[in-house]
Structure formats: C-alpha cells, structure tokens
C-alpha cells in the first residue's frame, strides 16, 4: 500500500522561521513610523500580521493541499487576471499613487499590488511552457517567441507603473527559467544581450535611475539628494559593527533612513544585530535555496521542477538585490526583502507560492 504524501516539515519549519524573524525585525523597524501615524508602536506590525501573514498563511495551507498540476489548467485565467490587474493600476479611481509611482489597486479599505502576483504568474507560465516537447522550445518563432511576448507584456506593464526593481526581478526569474528549461544557448545568448541593452536603455532614459547608478559608483555623490538613502544605509550597516546596538535600538529608523520598514529594513537589522548575527539571516536564505534546489531535483515532472526553480530563484534573487543594494554591491532599486519588508500584497503572494512549493515537495520522488 503506497504511503500517503506528507507535508515537508523541513520546508514548513524554514518558512515559519523566516516569518518569525521577519516579523520581529519589522516590529522593531516600524515602531517610530507607527507611533507617528497611529499613536502606538504596533500599528504596522498588526496590519502585517492580519492582512499579510494571516491571509497568506491560510492560502499557503490551502494551496499546499491542491495538486499543483491544476494550476496548469487554470493558467490562461491566471495570465489574463494578472495582466488585467497590472493595467488597472492606471485606471482613474482604482489605481493608487505614492512616491511618484502608481503600483496599487485601491478598492474600499483594500490595497493590492498586482506586480507581486505577476511574479507568480510568470513562474507558472514558464513552468508550463518548459513542460512542452523539446522541439517546441528550441524553435524560435513557434516555440520561444510566444513566451517572450508574454514576458514582454508583463515587463512592460510593470515598467509602466513605474517599478524598475520588480521588473528586474521578473526578468531575472524568466532568464533563469528559460536557461534551465533547455533553450538553445545561441538563442539565450542573444536574448541575454538584448535584455542587458534594454535595461541599460531604461536606466539611461530616466534621470533618477541614472543618478542612482552614479550614487552606486560614488556613494558620496549628492549625499543630500540621490545618494541620501544609500549613504544612510551604509552608515547604518557600518554602525552595527560585529554585535550591533541591540534589538530595538536602531538610530537610523528615527527618520534618518528612508523606508526603514520597507526596502531599507536590512540596514536596520544590521544596525541592531551586527555582522555576526546578520550572517545567521543569510544562512536562512541559503538554507531556503538549498531546500528549493532539493525539491526541484526530486519533483515528479518537468512542470513541478520548473515551478520549484522559479519560486526559489524569485525569493533568492529578490533577497540578493535588496541586501546587495543596502551594502553597496548593486545599485538601489527599491526591491523589498522577502518575509521581512512591510507589505501585505508581497507577503500574501509569497506565502501562496510557498503553498504550491509545499505541494510539489509532498509529491516528490
């Protein structure tokens, strides 16, 4: 009698460990802004727990019980809904603008960021495409070109918001999934070259993106303007030293460092916990990468393997871009740190993806 599939306890433990560390970090990073906006220190953490972790955990547990093959049948609907929501952010009365960008849909008391759902849609779409016959993947016009059009639609709508950071993560996911799916190396080389030229053009035509690159190359450039956030982030990371100031004792979160509970949360963590304990955080993400790689290797079919690869690349690439920008390794792009940064849309979609990953691991060979 075959054994009944069981939940992957290692992956589940790792997810909840990342969630616990993320909520602890977010509470500390959000206390100042929360007190200013709500009159208490728990306003933002309460919203993250209820609307992000609460809803996300329910969806994760539900999706962990749904056979992941069913997502392949629902893919046309998922793609249509995701693209429609990305377009609706520009609709008057529905889209919500903040900080010069229109990235949210606002319906009543609810806010949702469609670009987060788009990353999951891209993963599912490319996984289904990779499961096709080898001849369909190597033929450029009838095999590769349609998938490039879909990826281009997603990238274009995300860039329209504008959200260059999320678009970069989406393209990174697509590039790795295309490479691992068996695309011709010749095609992949020219696509990579075209993608790099496209990214450089998008950076050059927008003055604020170009000044971010200059600030990355020279952190002292315009310290009160375009270089302010990276300068303050480096100051926070450096001030943390080996052991940090102590949990809750960050100085930069007192209205010095922009986005202390969002894109800059890693700098706050480094300031409070220091280099030694930050290494433990990096080990957590490394453990997630190794677990995702293991699930991909033991997945029962190509569709499951590629979903596992896509979700793993999504989380790790986004973490690398966020952390790298805070320590001056890559230019500042405004990408949140998975499981840590404030944002219920990101948390709900990431935990939903974790549910799909749990289902794949449950059916592993």
User: What is the reported pLDDT for 2?
Assistant: 54
> Is the confidence at residue 275, as pLDDT, over 50?
yes
Give the C-alpha separation, 22 to 234, whole Å.
21
Q: Name which of 198, 334, 203, 192 is nearest 262 in CA terms.
A: 334
User: Residues 138, 143, 148, 149: what is their CA dihedral angle, to the nearest 10 degrees?
Assistant: 160
Q: How many other C-beta atoms are found inside a 10 Å radius of the C-beta of residue 22?
A: 24
Cβ(141)–Cβ(147) below 8 Å: no
Q: What residues does 104 pair with on adjacent strands?
A: 96
Give per-residue pLDDT as tens, 260-272: 999 999 999 999 9
Quote the pTM value: 0.93
pLDDT at 341 over 70: yes
Furthest-apart CA atoms within the chain: distance in Å: 69
In the prediction, which pLDDT does 251 show? 92
Q: How far is CA 284 from CA 11, 13, 277, 338, 339, in A?
A: 11, 11, 11, 12, 11
Q: How far is CA 144 from the centre of its chain?
A: 25
Task: Burial-class residue 335 by CB neighbours within 10 Å (0-12, 13-18, 19+).
Answer: buried
**3-state DSSP call for residue 110?**
strand
198-210 pLDDT tens trace:
888 888 787 777 7
Q: How far apart are CA 341 and CA 107, in angstroms?
A: 23
pLDDT > 50? residue 285: yes
User: Cα separation of 254 and 101, whole Å?
Assistant: 25
Q: How far apart are CA 15 and CA 17, in angstroms?
A: 5
């Amino acid at each position: 009698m075959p054994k009944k599939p069981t939940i992957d306890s290692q992956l589940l433990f790792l997810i909840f460990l990342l969630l616990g560390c993320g909520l602890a970090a977010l509470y500390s990073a959000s206390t100042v802004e929360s007190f200013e906006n709500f009159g208490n220190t728990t306003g933002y953490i309460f919203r993250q727990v209820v609307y992000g972790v609460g809803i996300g955990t329910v969806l994760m547990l539900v999706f962990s019980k749904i056979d992941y093959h069913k997502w392949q049948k629902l893919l046309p609907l998922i793609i249509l809904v995701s693209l429609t929501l990305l377009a609706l952010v520009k609709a008057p009365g529905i889209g919500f603008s903040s900080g010069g960008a229109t990235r949210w849909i606002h319906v009543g008391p609810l806010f949702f960021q469609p670009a987060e759902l788009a990353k999951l849609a891209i993963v599912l779409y490319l996984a289904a495409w990779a499961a096709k016959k080898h001849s369909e993947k190597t033929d450029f016009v009838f095999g590769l070109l349609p998938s490039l059009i879909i990826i281009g639609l997603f990238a274009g709508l995300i860039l329209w918001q504008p959200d260059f950071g999320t678009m970069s993560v989406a393209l990174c996911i697509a590039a790795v999934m295309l490479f691992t799916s068996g695309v011709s190396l010749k095609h992949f080389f020219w696509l990579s070259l075209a993608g790099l030229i496209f990214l450089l053009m998008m950076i050059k035509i927008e003055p604020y993106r170009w000044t971010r690159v200059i600030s990355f190359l020279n952190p002292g450039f315009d310290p009160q303007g375009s270089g302010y956030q990276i300068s303050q982030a480096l100051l926070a990371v450096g001030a943390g030293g080996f052991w940090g100031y102590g949990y809750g004792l960050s100085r930069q979160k007192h209205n010095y460092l922009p986005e202390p509970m969002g894109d800059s949360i890693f700098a706050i963590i480094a300031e409070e916990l220091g280099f030694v304990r930050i290494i433990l955080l990096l080990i957590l993400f490394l453990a997630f990468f190794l677990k995702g790689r293991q699930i991909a290797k033991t997945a029962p079919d190509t569709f499951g393997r590629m979903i596992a690869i896509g979700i793993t690349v999504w989380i790790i690439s986004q973490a690398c871009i966020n952390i790298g920008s805070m320590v001056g390794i890559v230019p500042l792009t405004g990408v949140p740190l998975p499981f840590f940064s404030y944002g219920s849309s990101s948390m709900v979609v990431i935990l939903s993806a974790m549910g799909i990953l749990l289902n794949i691991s449950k059916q592993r060979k």
